[in-house]
Chain A
Amino acid sequence: MIRFLVLVLFTGSAAAQEVTVDPPEDGSVSRAEGLAAWERVHDVVSHPRCANCHVGADNIPMWSGPSYGETRPHGMFISGGESRIGAEFLPCSACHVTLDAGQSRTDGPHRPPQVALDWRLAPVDFQWFGRSSAEICAQMADPDRTGGRDWVALAEHLRDDAGHGGFVKWGFDPGGGRAPAPYGLQAHIDDVLTWGAAGTPCETGG
């Protein structure tokens, strides 16, 4: 077993949380266990804290939350543009201020979230919003559509993003009265690894 360890300092809190990537042996997990883990992964990636910025080629981020009713396009006629950082129009960071590592975020309902990376949409190949579980599963199982990452590298990506104070960590601790993505970061990493060790099974036979 390979074991990685990272110390994640949660911004605005003295609390520290260890996040580990501890992959099971490839093939050591049953398909049924893998599919069950995928269902939990899908619960996370389809959650508004994640999917709202994993949008398609229209480059329009989404808003949702207790006071919004139906999920709706980001207010203010915002477009992330093909740059996915708003460079063609209004950069995301005009409102979503980029913090230095360890810097306390400004928090509160309806405030633009802040992380220690430049706010952005995920690459369009990573569209999750509006996609089915099977479609997202096929995408995440295909290194050509994950920036070359296999299942272990996906888990490492989650760990490393959290270590940089990025979007993944924020999704599980969004503040501002927003519902966090379910299960927690460590459980999500473990589920990705369980799904991967089972051969990245998808409901459509992947």
Chain B
Amino acid sequence: MRLTVNGTEHELDVEPDMPLLWVLRDELGVTGVKYGCGIAQCGACTVHLDGMAMRACQVPAAAAEGAEVLTIEGLGGGDALHAVQRAWIDEQVAQCGYCQAGQILQAAWLLETSPAPSDEEIDRVMSGNLCRCGTYPRIRAAIHAAAAALREG
């Protein structure tokens, strides 16, 4: 299969039903994307697939043929931090950090589709991303901060 990950094209020989999460982590060594539950219940494996935030554990490799994938490694373009990543640091969101790559990618997608989300919108979009450390208040604050930063350019 062909797959572009963080701007780099790859040719891979994998089973068509291999989850994209496996392709990224085990075949390409892109380990920023995390395995949490394997059944789309936690959001830890969230990536952008052709611009859409998706649970990589649910995407068969065949469904990602020719797609462009963005993971936490590529979110800021590689060298710089994305506004959401900067806000995450400023708000000191992470505790253990395991879920945060998925949280950040989901939040970045939210702000692409809704530049000034309400609290309800944030909760609706982000509630599929679980955090055992309970960082939800800081996640919400960081999203508001990132939204403001992006609006100010």
Contact = CB atoms under 8 A, between A and B. Distances in A.
Interface of A: 75-79, 88-91, 93-100, 103-104, 106, 108-112, 114
A94 B60 contact: no
A95 B40 contact: yes
B53 interface: yes
A139 to B, nearest CB: 28
Task: Give the interface size bracket for B toward A.
Answer: 20 to 34
Contact of B55 (A94, A103, A108): A94
B41 interface: yes
Contacts of A114: 58
A111 B127 contact: no
Nearest to B64: A97
Nearest to B122: A89
Given A89-B125, A90-B128, A104 B52 contact: no
Interface string B61-101: 01100000000000000000000000000000000000000
Given A77-B127, A106-B17, A100 B54 contact: no
A77 B120 CA distance: 10
B124 interface: yes
Contacts of A91: 52
Contacts of A110: 39, 41
A94 B54 contact: yes
Given A76-B127, A77-B127, A79-B124, A106 B62 contact: no
A77 B123 contact: yes
A94 to B, nearest CB: 6
